[in-house]
Amino acid sequence: MTQTVKRGESLGAQVARVLRQRIVSGELAAGERITEEALAEEFAVSRGPVRDALTQLSFEKLVEVQRPRGVYITGLTQDDVDQLYSLRGALEQLALSRAMRVEDDARWAAMRAAVSRMAEAADAGDHAAFVTADLDFHSEIYQLADHPRLQGAWNQYLPTFTALLEVTINHDEDLHESSHDHVRLLDVMRSGTAAQAAEVLAAHLDGARARMLSEVSDRP
């Protein structure tokens, strides 16, 4: 079946997003072979965007390009999951410690809005809207950190973390607990100590890591 792509966004990024989600969700299994020709036909694009997508996914260690043999799915192992979440933890703990220095209340408005949107999505059982608000919340931590290189590192891995969240969030039929976690994290960032905030963030990310490890271990 031909996949449709939107012409306003980078075609390579769109192809990469779809393939990334298939890999992270296990729809494309480790060792499976894919070809540029088949992908170009499926997405109704030229090979240029397909190559761009595969280059990005190769950087993310999700595929291995073996020209001229083809492209092989690397997939996610438990070690990959551990590496990704330990990386995110290191980045986000630094961002959080810097963000907590911001006293200007107006700069926290976007994070408060993201928390409100998560609560609304939880009430509606809207997983897709929750994912968007969740990622906006965490992106604001990096924005508040006032550290462009740190924010750049987050943005570089954001597509991978998005795909991971889209998988792990489906383990939660009731999104209210996750919504409350973010309320607590915001509260402790505004009125708690750095140590308390670091502990809350670590517990939050450990929960996501555990859900992803469970997902990977259940695959054939």
SS3 content of the chain, % helix, strand, coil (to 5): 75, 5, 20
Q: Which two tokens stand for residue 37?
A: 């020709």
DSSP 3: P
Q: How many CB atoms lie within 10 A of CB 59?
A: 13
What total number of domains does the chain contain?
Answer: 2
Query: Do 56 and 150 fall into the same domain?
Result: no
**Cα–Cα distance, 127 to 135 (Å, whole number):** 12
Give the structural domain span for 139: 78-217
Domain end: 73, 92, 116, which one?
73
DSSP string across 56-100: HHHHTTSEEEETTTEEEE----HHHHHHHHHHHHHHHHHHHHHHT
Q: Are strands 63-66 and 33-34 parallel, antiparallel or unpaired?
A: unpaired
* CB-based contact 111:186 (threshold 8 Å): yes
Query: Do 22 and 97 fall into the same domain?
Result: no
Global confidence as pTM: 0.88
Domain end: 25, 50, 73, which one?
73
Q: What are phi and psi of 71, to 5 degrees?
A: -120, 135
Query: Do 64 and 103 fall into the same domain?
Result: no
**Cα–Cα distance, 194 to 190 (Å, whole number):** 10
Rg of the chain over all Cα atoms, to the nearest angstrom: 19
Q: Read off the CATH number of the domain in which 49 is found.
A: 1.10.10.10
Asked if residue 5 is part of any domain, the answer here is no
Q: What pLDDT digit, counting tens, does each position of 41-84 carry?
A: 999 999 999 999 999 999 999 999 887 778 999 989 999 999 99
**Cα–Cα distance, 212 to 208 (Å, whole number):** 6
Q: What pLDDT digit, counting tens, does each position of 71-127 carry?
A: 999 989 999 999 999 999 999 999 999 999 999 999 999 999 999 999 999 999 999
DSSP 46: -
Query: Do 129 and 170 fall into the same domain?
Result: yes
* CB-based contact 18:58 (threshold 8 Å): no
State the pLDDT at residue 69: 78
Max CA-CA distance within the chain?
57
Average pLDDT, integer, range 26-49: 93
Domain end: 73, 96, 124, which one?
73
Q: Read off the CATH number of the domain in which 145 is found.
A: 1.20.120.530
Query: Do 117 and 177 fall into the same domain?
Result: yes
Q: 3-state DSSP call for residue 193?
A: coil
Asked if residue 6 is part of any domain, the answer here is no
Q: What pLDDT digit, counting tens, does each position of 127-176 carry?
A: 999 999 999 999 999 999 999 999 999 999 999 999 999 999 887 889 99
DSSP 33: E
Q: Shortest CA distance to 144 belongs to which of 110, 113, 183? A: 110
